A and B are shown apart, each in its own frame.
Chain A
Amino acid sequence: MRQTRALPNGWWGMAVFMASEAALFGSLIGTYFYLEFTGRQWPLGGIAAPSVTAPLLLTATLVASSVPMALASAAARRGRTGATWLLVFAAFVVQSGYLAAQIVEYTSDLDKFQPDTNAYGSIYFTLLGAHHIHVAVGLLLDLWLLARLLSGLTDYRVKAVRAIALYWYVVTAIAVFVVATQVSPS
């Protein structure tokens, strides 16, 4: 595969775009703490503070999925199509499992309190919801890669793998901050 000194345009495009998404989550997390500091108690309205174990375990799984993503990126740069496909697939499986478990948690939380209960509910479900949407979009990106890689690696597809791997690193890093915020009252 063609080796270049600088990172590809597509990678930079993804990087700048993800900077804007990071600012989005920064604003949401800032909103969470602002509402907490102005609130009379936290969580509001007698809602129980969230459990710590499940969110932390799930986040650890997501972080772990960065390893196959990174290896896929390296394999792509060395032109190894089969290895790249399998590694992306492995990451996809772990990430889908993560999202499925998170959706189960989310719906079970919705039974206990809702976004329109009070401001705590509002920011809780909005912050987590925004994160889950980003994970879902990431899964679509994975599927796209898996489909395209079936017909082999090209320089363009190597750049795509690198850019999508970057997407996942940033979403995973954001997940750490989101979950830390989520469990902060506990």
Chain B
Amino acid sequence: MAVIGTGAERIERLGRIWEERPGVLGWITTTDHKRIGLLYLFTTLVLFAAGGVEALLLRTQLIKANNGLLSPEAYNELFTLHGVTMVFFFVIPISIGAFGNYLLPLMIGARDMAFPRMNALSFWIFLASGIFMYTSLAIGDAPDAGWFNYVPLSAARFSPGPNIDFYCLGLIFNGIASTLTAVNFIVTMFKGRAPGMSMNRMPLFCFAFLAVSLALVFALPPLNVALILLELDRQVGTHFYDVAGGGDPLLWQHLFWIFGHPEVYIIILPAFGIATSIIPTFTHRRMVAFPLVALAEILVALIGFGVWAHHMFATGLPAAETVYFSAVSLIIVVPSAIQLFAWLTTLLTGTPDFQTPLLFIVGFIVFFIIGGLSGVMFAAVPFDQQVTDTYFVVAHFHFVIFGAAVFPLLGGLYYWFPKVTGRMYSEPVGKLSFWLSFAGTAITFFPMHIVGLLGMPRRVYTYPHGLGWDATNLIETLGSYLLAVGLLMVAANLAVSRFRGKRVGRDPFDGATLEWEASSPPKPYNFPVIPTVSSPYPMWDRRDRKKDERKLERGEMVLDAGHETPATTVVDAELDEILEMPSDSPWPPLLALTLALVFVFLLTGHWVTAVVFAGASAAVLGAWHWKEPEEA
């Protein structure tokens, strides 16, 4: 029900209701999706730097033949940790934890996620899992069997130390955070959209994140099973993966890749979502074939579950099995091609304004085409068997994981920087940072195709003279230094502009989606009025935005009687009820702490203590749910 007052009074009341505790305590107990997004952003950037330093060390070791910078053992730990960090502790959390958390409620016209405290819990668990994993490096026992950790190398017999236990327990712990975030995103997108935003009017960014979340829900469990079975083999002596006991090492590979392949689509989908947000803004036209782009995003996630054994074409599987995976791997190109044609057509038929964000998207398109082409080559079993485990595959996946997944993240950092900070970055420095990063990426990773075809295997800590690999490796290493400079320039541009950039208003780029309606930076309650929506490009519907101004004066859908947000029906977003949302709470960080202790004691083998802390976690969950929302 509307409370009496003018528009200005309502705004002031909303501000008071949604204000959080000040200072550090406010950040620790926050449930505001924007603050949680920023916490994720800073944490993942630190972990990106760690993964980057690992990469530079690897490349420096490979700069010349027979180099002695790193021992084989150190090299193994570094390339394993590089892969694990970049996949689990950088690209996924920055995409869904930082970009997804900050932007999703804004894009759907909501005041917060469906489960604000669970959102905070995801972040604290993620942080704890990062500390857990990197403790292994600090004590000199980092995982060292590669990011995909094949048995029997990772079984107790060949890896007796705690390295692999860090890997298994750390990833199970990390997976809890991602699962909770995925649940939160799905329910938020199903039930939290502004009235009028039926499924056909949801922005493409949201379709991408819906696809990511659904994929995470179904992809993480096979990984968890793989990890749990491995830990059972290592700690309890079960026989899942050893042949003598009736097990099968290929079981690990099947389970891992049933997770692992959807994982790579989980990595790329947020990038698609960011690209499909930036392109319409900077070409000043709607996305061509909007329904086809939306479907392509969901389809890639779905079909991605059917291709996993194309990572196993060289393991001796029967041809009658691999043919299923070849068929699906060929078809999965189609949705990606649909998106590519839609983006390119939108660019060519719009009036593109090549500012920094759009430049990064162009770079993304170039790298996605190259990476995609080398990828589809792997769908042919004979070709795959020649180049698997060589630098050709290292080239392929870095083009898609780095070139295609990270470039939109960089573009997105620039694009939404004015929204988050209220200031503009330096455009000339931005452009330069793009060209340096683009050149660095190309110079580092393109030659890897060549040296891979010349036979250089992956995961070797050094190589001898005279195989024709020396010059290429030197070029790649120099390229990586150039890339590092480009990335540092991005960071410096944003860091300096945060304090010295020109101040801007709500919508400096004339964006189409609702985050540009909120102030820069947005207020804690995001919107004073729940927005009126009648298309996927709400900011370009001037009549609806005028309607919102009138609604504010009338007190309609201002929801200032409490800490409120609307819930709508799933498919057609008709208003269903007004919900009272929780505000800042100490329980999420506390629960993350008790859960972390469970994993620490599982690692050290103190089973009883671990169970005690599991009980403590249940108690914290009880305390969390004790206080109920006020009834209307």
Interface residues of A (CB under 8 A from B): 2, 4-9, 12-13, 16-17, 19-21, 23-24, 26-28, 31, 34-35, 38-40, 44-45, 115-123, 126, 140, 144, 154-157
Contact = CB atoms under 8 A, between A and B. Distances in A.
Contact of A6 (B183, B224, B569): B569
Contacts of A156: 628-629, 631
Question: Which 10 residue pairs are nearest across A and B when measured between Cβ atoms?
Answer: A119-B246, A122-B238, A116-B237, A23-B221, A24-B221, A27-B225, A119-B247, A6-B569, A118-B246, A27-B222
A112 B632 CA distance: 59
A21 B233 CA distance: 22
Contacts of B577: 2, 4
B114 A122 contact: no
13 contacts: A12-B114, A13-B183, A16-B186, A27-B222, A35-B248, A45-B246, A116-B236, A116-B237, A117-B239, A119-B246, A119-B248, A121-B239, A126-B238
A31 B229 contact: yes
A140 to B, nearest CB: 7
A contact patch SS = helix
A31 B240 contact: yes
A5 B570 CA distance: 10
Given A9-B187, A27-B255, A115-B232, 11 more contacts: A2-B632, A9-B115, A24-B221, A31-B251, A34-B251, A39-B246, A45-B246, A115-B237, A119-B246, A119-B248, A157-B628
Contacts of B179: 17, 20
A126 B246 CA distance: 15
A31 B237 CA distance: 17
Nearest to B625: A144
A23 B217 contact: yes
B186 A12 contact: yes
A118 B229 CA distance: 13
Interface of B: 114-115, 179, 182-184, 186-187, 190-191, 217-218, 220-222, 224-225, 228-229, 232-233, 236-240, 245-248, 251, 254-255, 258, 567-570, 574, 576-577, 579, 618, 622, 625, 628-629, 631-632
Contact of A115 (B238, B258, B618, B628): B238
A44 B631 CA distance: 58
Given A27-B258, A115-B232, A20 B221 contact: yes
Contact of A12 (B191, B238, B245, B254): B191
Most buried by B among A13, A17, A19, A156: A13
Contacts of A117: 239
Nearest to B175: A20
Nearest to B570: A6
A126 B187 contact: no
A8 B217 CA distance: 20
B156 to A, nearest CB: 12
Contacts of A27: 221-222, 225, 255, 258
Contacts of B182: 16
A6 B577 CA distance: 9
A140 B618 contact: yes
A35 B247 contact: yes
Given A16-B217, A31-B240, A6 B191 contact: yes
A39 B248 CA distance: 9
Contact of B631 (A5, A12, A154): A154
A6 B232 contact: no
A116 B631 CA distance: 53
A119 B239 contact: yes
Contacts of B248: 34-35, 38, 119
Contacts of B574: 5
A16 B228 CA distance: 22
A63 to B, nearest CB: 24
A34 B567 CA distance: 44
A167 to B, nearest CB: 14
Nearest to B626: A148
B246 A16 contact: no
B236 A5 contact: no
Given A6-B567, A122-B238, A23 B232 contact: no
A6 B221 CA distance: 28
A150 B248 CA distance: 52
A36 to B, nearest CB: 10
A121 to B, nearest CB: 8
Nearest to B255: A27
Contacts of B569: 5-6
B217 A9 contact: no
Contacts of A126: 228-229, 232, 238
A116 B115 CA distance: 41
A128 to B, nearest CB: 14
Contacts of B220: 20
A20 B218 contact: yes
A45 B244 CA distance: 11
A5 B576 CA distance: 6
Contact of B218 (A19, A34, A140): A19
Given A34-B248, A126-B232, A16 B187 contact: yes
A45 B246 CA distance: 9
A5 to B, nearest CB: 5
B325 to A, nearest CB: 16
B239 A122 contact: yes
A44 B618 CA distance: 38
A119 B245 contact: yes
B190 A12 contact: yes
B232 A9 contact: no
A35 B246 contact: yes
Contacts of B237: 115-116
Most buried by A among B245, B570, B631: B245
A4 B577 CA distance: 7
Given A34-B248, A39-B246, A156-B629, A9 B240 contact: no
B255 A31 contact: yes
Contacts of B186: 12, 16
Nearest to B216: A20
A2 B580 CA distance: 14
A117 to B, nearest CB: 8
A144 B115 CA distance: 20
A121 B233 CA distance: 12
